[in-house]
Amino acid sequence: KTFNYEFDNRSFKGETSVSLGLYINGQFVEGKKGETFDVTNPSTGEKLTSVCTGTKEDVDIAVKAAQKAFDTTWGLKCPGSQRAAVLHRIANLMEKHIDEFSALETLNTGKPFSWSKKSDLAMALDTFRYYAGWADKISGKVIETTEDKLAYTRHEPIGVVGQIIAWNFPVMLLAWKIGPALACGNCVILKPSEFTPLTALLFAKIVHEAGVPAGVINIINGTGPKVGQAIAEHPGIEKIAFTGSTLTGRKIMEASGKSNLKNVTLELGGKSPNIIMDDADIDQAVEWTVHGVFWNLGQCCCAGTRIFVHEKIYAEFMEKFTARSKKVKVGDPFDPETDLGALVSDIQYNRVMSYIEAGKKDGAKIVLGGDPIQKDGYWLGPTIFTDTKPNMSIVREEIFGPVGVIIKFKDDDDVVHQANDTTYGLAAAVFSKNIDRALKTAHRLNAGTIWVNCYNQLHAQVPFGGYKQSGIGRELGEYALENYTSVKAVHVNF
Ligand code: NAD
């Protein structure tokens, strides 16, 4: 069965066709039980199609296919230069179909087409190309030990890797996972989010066209408890790379520990601080702060949701920030003028609204937004709270919606203390024209990424990952290669 859709919008006229099956061992199959789940267009609330769901048995079949591919056509059997060529072919084919990918991503996530294309797809292409560059440069070291002996290291692929991802950046997260895994010679079983399975299915079509050997990439859709759990527990999977909530991250570690002690990397949630010092360029800070907190409707693990503003510039910042936030255009995701589309699902919508209600009940003041936009689908605009207290749920918990809290501070020690007062540690930002002060503050913040006078800068060559309960390990850059290789030391007596 396939999903066929004709787009005729202000951004894109064209069509897409994706197979709705599981992609296992180089083929689309229905799955052992032939079960399906529904997929929705969040900007209308309408059902788009039903996608095949896998089972434990399907995961097992995929693992066997992946193991066979690892031993025969991929892994150490395939020279790095050939793996690089495959990754380049994938990127080139995605680029050829970039409008189709972007439109499908928009249809399934509700995010604006312009952002799907210039951000998510662009980053996915960069990531595949960046790791194509690494594929033939992964090598060990020679280490001299004694006069007549030496050791050398080999960075070998791990084997079959399970990859489980979230719905906020489906195709980009897929690239962050599959790019480095394949460059290092691993085979993968990827489970997209059950809310956003469609671009991964289009990707499977590309994989086929790019001539990736059967079994090297397997894509199994389905829910977390069903397919995700089966991946996390499978004894034939040597490693899990996960992107999602901290709660699910714990479950994955538990399942991995109980099965075969898998190597686990986790990219989890956040509640990132964004600090505006009294010597900041206020117009610049306002522009980046709006982007930092509202980009992708705040459905962003690194969203700058705790906005700390120095008391000396509070009034001016608030006036400009509120005025700028009012100008953010929420609407038809296929309209080129749109900044923000719809939230991804009814579940997410209800979750965000319940936080807004809790904030009001706890006594925080809403200075913008907070009311649902009356439309079919899941709509909510930029929402700003002030007058919060440190223990309120809107200050402490990840909301994953377009909701920011503004917190006044007095001095640098005070703001560093408050910024670090969280169980998360994914990202943070500092705005100051005094670079010495900005960098000193950056070094004191407990987070894996710090932006100075900017926000949401992500590049394939720069590592990304969390301190504390925001994660374990780093994605992107040279650092991600460590996630996907085992180091072997060989001692030689000569
Ligand atoms: P989620 O944890 O609900 O789901 C993520 C994935 O895990 C989905 O594919 C889901 O099906 C699967 N899953 C659910 N239960 C499972 C289980 N028991 N075993 C195995 N797999 C299971 O998260 P979400 O709602 O899809 O995404 C939002 C979260 O992701 C936020 O907390 C956000 O901060 C985080 N996130 C982090 C990053 C990062 O790089 N740090 C990036 C994007 C999103």
pLDDT tens, 50-61?
999 999 999 999
Q: How far does the chain reach from its first CA to its final CA, in angstroms?
A: 62
Q: Are strands 471-472 and 142-146 parallel, antiparallel or unpaired?
A: unpaired
Residue 267 is a catalytic residue:
yes
DSSP state of 118: I
- The single residue of 267, 287, 337, 357 carrying the catalytic annotation is 267
Mean pLDDT for 170-182 is 98
Mean pLDDT for 71-98 is 98
Give the confidence band of 32 by pLDDT, cuts at 50, 70, 90.
confident
Please state the atom number of ligand 1 nearest to the C-alpha of residue 248: 2
Q: How far apart are CA 98 and CA 430, in angstroms?
A: 34
Give the confidence band of 200 by pLDDT, cuts at 50, 70, 90.
very high
Give the position of tokens 């080999």. Answer: 154
How much distance in Å is there from the Cα of 432 to the middle of ligand 1?
34
Pocket-testing residue among 245, 349, 469, ligand 1, by greatest number of atoms within 8 A of Cβ: 245
* Residue of minimum CA distance from atom 19 in ligand 1: 229
Pocket-testing residue among 164, 191, 226, 231, ligand 1, by greatest number of atoms within 8 A of Cβ: 164
Mean pLDDT for 206-226 is 96
pLDDT over 90 percentage in the chain? 98
Q: How far apart are CA 433 and CA 279, in angstroms?
A: 6
Please state the atom number of ligand 1 nearest to the C-alpha of residue 194: 11
Burial code (b: 16+ CB inside 10 Å, e: under 16) for 414-437 equals ebbebbbebebbbbbbbbbeeeee
User: Whole-number mean pLDDT of the chain?
Assistant: 97
Q: How far apart are CA 425 and CA 164, in angstroms?
A: 21
Q: What pLDDT does residue 188 have?
A: 98
Q: Are strands 217-219 and 149-157 parallel, antiparallel or unpaired?
A: unpaired
Please check whether residue 301 is in contact with residue 456, taking contact to mean a CB–CB distance below 8 angstroms. Answer: no
Residue 374 confidence (pLDDT) above 90: no
Q: What pLDDT does residue 288 have?
A: 98
Give the position of tokens 């956040």. Answer: 270
179 lines ligand 1 (CB under 6 A): no
Q: What pLDDT does residue 356 have?
A: 98
Q: How far apart are CA 307 and CA 383, in angstroms?
A: 13
Q: How far apart are CA 316 and CA 192, in angstroms?
A: 44
225 lines ligand 1 (CB under 6 A): yes
Q: What is the pTM of this model?
A: 0.98
Please check whether residue 304 is in contact with residue 424, taking contact to mean a CB–CB distance below 8 angstroms. Answer: no
Please state the atom number of ligand 1 nearest to the C-alpha of residue 475: 40
Q: How far apart are CA 7 and CA 4, in angstroms?
A: 10
Please state the atom number of ligand 1 nearest to the C-alpha of residue 166: 26
Q: How far apart are CA 178 and CA 141, in angstroms?
A: 26
How much distance in Å is there from the Cα of 202 to the middle of ligand 1?
21
Q: Tens digits of per-residue pLDDT, 296-345? A: 999 999 999 999 999 999 999 999 999 999 999 999 999 999 999 999 99
How much distance in Å is there from the Cα of 284 to the middle of ligand 1?
32
Nearest by Cα to 271 from 104, 401, 130, 117: 401
Q: What pLDDT does residue 103 have?
A: 98
Q: How far apart are CA 201 and CA 104, in angstroms?
A: 10
Q: What pLDDT does residue 125 have?
A: 98
199 lines ligand 1 (CB under 6 A): no
Q: Are strands 263-267 and 471-472 parallel, antiparallel or unpaired?
A: antiparallel
Give the confidence band of 208 by pLDDT, cuts at 50, 70, 90.
confident
Mean pLDDT for 350-377 is 96
398 lines ligand 1 (CB under 6 A): yes
Q: How far apart are CA 381 and CA 154, in angstroms?
A: 52
Give the tokens for residue 385: 């709270």
How much distance in Å is there from the Cα of 226 to the middle of ligand 1?
14
SS3 329: coil
SS3 304: coil
